[in-house]
Amino acid sequence: MTSTLPRVATTLPPGPKLPPIVQTLLFANFRHRLLPLLRRRYGDLFTVRLYPNRQAVQLANLEHIKTVFAGPVTTFHAGEGNVILKPIMGEHSVLLTDEDVHLRARKLLMPAFHGAALRGYRDMITELAEQEVSHWPAGQVFRSHERMQALTLEIILRVVFGVAEGPRLDELRRLLTGLVDIGVLDLFGLHNEKLRKIGPWKRSKLLQDRVDELVYAEIAERRTAADLAERGDVLSRLLTVSAEEDRLTDAELRDQLITLLLAGHETTATSLAWAFHELSRDPVRLGAALKAADEGDEKYLEAVAKEAMRLHPVISEVARKLTEDVEIGGYRLPAGATVMPSIVLVHSDAAHHDAPDAFRPERFLTDGGPASGTWFPFGGGVRRCLGAGFSLLEATIVLRAVLSRYRLAPDRARPEGSRPRHITMVPARGSRIAVTPR
């Protein structure tokens, strides 16, 4: 429903009255605590005002969220909703574009993450996972999040470039780790030309410039590869498209590759770290997961990954910018506002998930799993993450590689909290665990 409807309200839903810069700081650093508090105060529909001039309407009602995910892409712009990522991902990124431009990019990228290509990654992921866990320090406490970041980055490098050796990719691997580690305030600051010339924003900009040099050099070299047509990696696939209208410029290639490299490893790494965090503190679920690893029960292992994503959403919300007025929940939201279906609020709602604070992978194995629309870590609608299947396959294989070899234990009884890292929420202490050979 769009602007042809009669006007129901002339204002945005209620929300805190604090200055936008204060709301931005609170949202950036404490959104996992802030959003539940605001929901209790204002209900399922409330507005947060973010720097520099963003009216972000949070949605926690499933019908309201369905309106967004099922609505026309011409009205609900996901690319504009993700504008905070533009300084890093680039204007051509599949995450930052809309309508026909987005469909073109998605069509080109989708074959690398579906069907036969997805099945073809299994051996590579298994090999890299087993190499990684083979040298974990038995009996010593370590940050599993760091190890998962290293592993999933290695995997996505193979998917994107086909190889992961050589001085250029060695440097790229190191720099990407630094690029991922920026804070959400760094992202906001990168939108400001003046801030990009000073302090941490200048350092982030210089880091990004060097990453770009390496990626462009890899593109230039690959264009002249004699075996380009025989390669199955994403870069080679994108360089061998036959239709003239689908051929990408170097700038377009850069943006898609950076998007895959960053988005394609960080979220899965964090979900796996949370899975280890929960399993190490739950002997019953750990026992079930160990048995599943021994028996090759990938359905249970996938359920472990899904439950980690439900209990600890890596991304707290999905964003869509309105191109025209839209009625939602009795409010006529104005064009230019951003609507944000809240993953964290829906995932933690007892109305949708029994005992929502408990880690229960089996909820995904009984009665068809959670009701439709109550679990959406990969977003929803036509903009659902095209790497969702790859992420779950990767997580399942990695869980089996770890649990076939080790038992897990926490470094202390008290659970870890969350902390923000750019747009994601990660284990505050890195998901510290110890492993014992089985």
For residue 382, is pLDDT > 60? yes
Domains along the chain with CATH numbers: 20-437 (1.10.630.10)
Closest CA to 105 of 220, 248, 267: 248
Summarised one tens digit per residue, pLDDT across range 38-65 is 999 999 999 999 987 899 999 999 999 9
pLDDT at 281: 97
Tracing tokens 């665990």 back to the chain, one arrives at: 433
Within a 13 Å sphere around the CA of 102, how many CA atoms are in the beta-carbon half? 19
d(CA 227, CA 6): 60
For residue 390, is pLDDT > 70? yes
pLDDT at 242: 75
Summarised one tens digit per residue, pLDDT across range 222-265 is 999 999 999 999 999 999 997 788 899 999 999 999 999 988 89
DSSP-assigned states of every residue in 285-315 = HHHHHHHHHHHT-HHHHHHHHHHHHHHS-SB
d(CA 391, CA 388): 5
Percent of the chain with pLDDT over 90: 80
Least confident of 77-81, 304-308, 419-423: 419-423
d(CA 359, CA 229): 46
pLDDT at 76: 98
In the three-class reduction of DSSP (H, G, I as helix; E, B as strand; rest coil), residue 139 is classed as coil
Mean pLDDT (the chain, rounded): 93
Answer positive or negative: Cα dihedral of 95, 100, 101, 107. positive
Continuous segment of H or E residues that includes residue 113: none
Summarised one tens digit per residue, pLDDT across range 87-97 is 889 999 999 99
Q: Vertex 78, ends 241 and 390: CA angle to 5°?
A: 55
pLDDT at 1: 46
* pTM as predicted: 0.93
Cβ distance 400 to 296 under 8 Å? yes
pLDDT at 4: 46
Neighbours of 119 (CB within 10 A): 10
In angstroms, the Cα distances linking 196 to 53, 69, 192, 208, 259 are 19, 35, 6, 11, 21
Strands across the sheet containing 45-50: 45-50, 54-59, 338-341, 320-322, 76-77
- Which pair of structure tokens corresponds to residue 156? 């996505």
- Which pair of structure tokens corresponds to residue 161? 């470039």
Q: Where are the beta strands (DSSP E) in 297-398?
A: 320-322, 326-328, 331-333, 338-341
- Which pair of structure tokens corresponds to residue 56? 């972000």
Closest CA to 391 of 293, 264, 301, 289: 264
pLDDT at 198: 85
Cβ distance 397 to 275 under 8 Å? no
